Structure 1
Amino acid sequence: MATSIHALNELGQSIWYDNIRRGLLDSGELARLIEAGVSGVTSNPTIFEKAIGGSNDYDAAITELVRRGLDAQAIYDQLTLEDIGRGADLLRPVYDRTNGEDGYISIEVPPTLAADTPATVAEARRIFGTLNRPNVMIKVPATPEGIPAIRTLIADGVNVNVTLIFSLKTYDDVITAYWEGLEDRLQRGLPVDRVASVASFFVSRVDTLVDKLIDERGLDPALRGKAAVANAKLAYELFQRRSAEPRWAALAAKGARVQRPLWASTSTKNPAYPPLLYVDTLIGPHTVNTLPPQTVEAVLQSVKVARTVDADLDRAHADLEALEAAGISMDWVTDQLMQQGVKAFEDSFASLMAGLEKKVAAVAAG
């Protein structure tokens, strides 16, 4: 049955599910979502913290792994890789049907490695090799240390989901790193037609911080709720501009795949804003929107299917210029958001591991 997600697909946008847990796999819910048009899955440390620590889905598996002598770190690895592998297998028909354009599932390197390029590369290679499926993407944060890791991994043929992108400057660097990795690969005489990447540009968190600054400084309330969409639209404008460069044309002629912009953090945090504010305004070709469960359901019920991501660009530029004129530096905002994002994932990972260690100790104690 055709759904509104299928209609979005016709405009060139894929909808990915920003959630994974064993219950989704066991119940058939993920399979239902794929049938409804969802064509990818993303995960992160916060999602796994809620899945493993906040449910009983994994208790039997944890008990069995403890009895086999595994510690908390090894158990985390086993549980997450099994979920990602099963998700990849469910999505494999989408990957095959779209000739590798879609059907991916993402897993993140531990956030504790965000400032360590060699360790990020080594862990990404290990995860990708262990899963051994062509439709897995490894999430690497767009930190200063993550950017060179992206180039190395792409050159190695590892699919990369670049995460925690907030600023246009960082996004520009991410695009270049992807191209450099492809060029390195070609210089080695290796094919580039099966290497895939997305660039995850975070949206709602921009409004959350900017709106807070507007309120704290007593600025014009009319400035609220404008920054996130404007920032994302300018990112898409950058994507279009870079895609028109001869350097990309040369790579595309060799079979290289477009590194699609992916809109992340697209559920509205402010209840005063429409539930689909960061969906309806960012629809267009060569894009992905990764959505949490409640937003996917809202899309299935009421999304406005129309190309909007490159509409009203003059307004987007004007909105950001108005914020700068009011004293809000978007460079400062996006730098803060990157730091907060890395810290939030580190905290979730630490909480997850602490919870696992308690479960391991409880099982070991009988």
Structure 2
Amino acid sequence: MNASQALHAAGQSVWYDNIQRGLLDNGVMAGMIAREEIRGVTSNPTIFMNAITKSADYADGLLPLAKAGLSAQEIFWQLAIADIQTAADLFRPLYDQSGKGDGFVSLEVSPYLAHETDATLAEARQLWQRVDRPNLMVKIPATKAGLPAISAAIAAGINVNVTLIFSRTRYAEVMDAYLQGLEQRVAAGLPLDSISSVASFFVSRVDSKIDARLRDQDAHLRGKAAIANARLAYADFKEVFAAERFQTLEARGGRVQRPLWASTGAKNPAYSDVLYVVELVGPQTVNTMPPQTLAALLDHGRVRPASLEEDLDAARQTLAELQALGIVMDAVTDELEDEGVKSPRTRSPPCWPRWKRAARLLVENAFTG
């Protein structure tokens, strides 16, 4: 049993935070699925921009789009959607075998729309229709404007990966938005059993932000805040989905909105490269890992089932100590959300605007080369 299989036995699915046409065409991703190393894929604009501009994988697909006179933005979406469709088809058997529990592939709406509810919902609907795969998840940010779009998308029958969650306060609002969407479907006489959602709770960036504010005498708190925050969020999840409100929906076929641990690559080289994996294991969860983190897990990861539920008192104590130092978790997570929207992505640059310039260069190269 490999470490990914051990996580699955403990109730957690491993998804791959990476997509590239070469992986789809050369059998690498199919092999990862067959070896049960991954059970889904997440993507974001940066991943696609890097894939398109830093490999020759897209040259054949780019040329006809460039000659057709499509804009750089439409070229990007055409290439990205084609990859998402191929990946979704690779995962479709797993999606079916797991009873629609896994085998999902995520595609994100434009981060530029993070503060526009109607535009976010319109793009979510458009991507859902264009990809036309039941195991697609449309990623919608958990901004204030994103929350009603999440409810409306769920009500419309769209699977949603809610992204950019940093705080427990916002996470509570995300769970409520999901349940509202299911309740709207019930009110409309629509089925619930085909709807799936995950709530992507970002981890390592919390430590990066807080560690930078700690003095040497507080070094014992470094690398502790993110795990404490996630463990308490998981306790919140268990409480919400054990309550009567969800039980009523579950009786009609409603599914739990699983917490998904995102940003799980360790940013600090002093930390274990599997820190944000082995400390966050629990039933009904997902961990999406970048390539280097998945490789580290498979090489030397040691799974502790239910590690998410360990030392909750210590988690509360960690946050209390931080607050005593003047480091308030809600203020830190609000800052992280603001940075995530403005960047417009919380992941490392290059960001959304750069793929447009890169695509323009690719178009020029297609005509000249």
**TM-score, structure 1 normalization:** 0.97
Does residue 67 of the first structure (1) align with residue 78 of the second (2)?
Answer: no
Which residue matches 1:237?
235
CA distance in 2 between counterparts of 1:338 and 1:56 reads 34
Q: How many residues align?
A: 363
Does residue 351 of the first structure (1) align with residue 349 of the second (2)?
Answer: no
Question: Residue 365 of structure 1: CA displacement?
Answer: 5.0
Which residue matches 1:85?
85
8 Å Cα contact 1:42-1:290 kept in structure 2: yes
CA distance in 2 between counterparts of 1:114 and 1:211 reads 28
CA distance in 2 between counterparts of 1:241 and 1:71 reads 47
- Structure 1 letter corresponding to 2:128: F
Which residue matches 1:154?
154
**Bigger CA drift: 169-178 or 356-365?**
356-365
CA distance in 1 between counterparts of 2:231 and 2:169 reads 14
Which residue matches 1:250?
248
TM-superposition CA deviations, 1:340-361 (whole Å, max 9, x none): 1122335611001111012213
Which residue matches 2:262?
264
Does residue 110 of the first structure (1) align with residue 110 of the second (2)?
Answer: yes
Please give the root-mean-square deviation of Cα atoms over the aligned residues, in Å: 1.2
CA distance in 2 between counterparts of 1:109 and 1:332 reads 26
8 Å Cα contact 1:280-1:304 kept in structure 2: yes
Corresponding residue SS for 1:199: strand
8 Å Cα contact 2:53-2:362 kept in structure 1: no
Which residue matches 1:341?
340
8 Å Cα contact 1:16-1:40 kept in structure 2: yes
- Structure 1 letter corresponding to 2:81: L
CA distance in 1 between counterparts of 2:269 and 2:295 reads 17
Structure 1, unmatched stretches of 5+, are: none
Does residue 20 of the first structure (1) align with residue 19 of the second (2)?
Answer: yes
1:109-258 alignment to 2 at 5 Å? 109-215=109-215, 220-258=218-256
TM-superposition CA deviations, 1:36-91 (whole Å, max 9, x none): 22100000011112111222221221122111222211111110000000000000
8 Å Cα contact 1:204-1:268 kept in structure 2: yes
Does residue 56 of the first structure (1) align with residue 56 of the second (2)?
Answer: yes
- Structure 1 letter corresponding to 2:356: M
8 Å Cα contact 1:219-1:326 kept in structure 2: no
Question: Residue 131 of structure 1: CA displacement?
Answer: 1.1
**Bigger CA drift: 113-122 or 334-343?**
334-343
Q: Any runs of at least 4 consecutive aligned residues in structure 1 with deviations exceeding 2 A, and if so which?
A: 343-347, 361-366
- Structure 2 letter corresponding to 1:115: H
Corresponding residue SS for 1:193: coil
Identity %: 50
Question: Residue 219 of structure 1: CA displacement?
Answer: 5.1
Which residue matches 2:10?
11
Corresponding residue SS for 1:288: strand
Corresponding residue SS for 2:148: helix
TM-superposition CA deviations, 1:257-279 (whole Å, max 9, x none): 11000000001000000111100
8 Å Cα contact 1:11-1:284 kept in structure 2: yes
8 Å Cα contact 1:45-1:345 kept in structure 2: no
Corresponding residue SS for 1:289: strand
